[in-house]
Amino acid sequence: MTESAQNMFLTRDEIAELTMRIQSAAQIKALRGMCIEHRRRPDGSVAVLRLHVQQLFGCTLEKEKRQVSEPNWGALHATQKKS
């Protein structure tokens, strides 16, 4: 597995620690109970996106920058003067 794929998905050990289960069927049941999106790989192992778990637990590494949208007060003021 490439380094970017390893960073993208939780490791097998991390999934086991998160779910407190070793067998993939039990892990899937636990993940469903926690509302964590997951997929079963062709080999039977479980894939969980790291970012999804971080977002669910409120601990993303990078804070999202939110743009504050405000009205154009200058344009609003100009139209009021015309009236």
The predicted-structure confidence for 64-82, as pLDDT tens digits, reads as follows: 555 667 777 777 766 666 6
User: Domain residues for 30?
Assistant: 3-60
Model confidence pLDDT, tens digit, residues 14-45: 999 999 999 999 999 999 999 999 999 999 99
In this structure, is residue 78 part of a structural domain? no
| Total count of domains within the chain | 1
Which three-class secondary structure state does DSSP give residue 35? coil
Look up residue 2 and give its DSSP letter. -
Q: Are 18 and 26 in contact, with CB atoms under 8 Å apart?
A: no
Domain-embedded: residue 31: yes
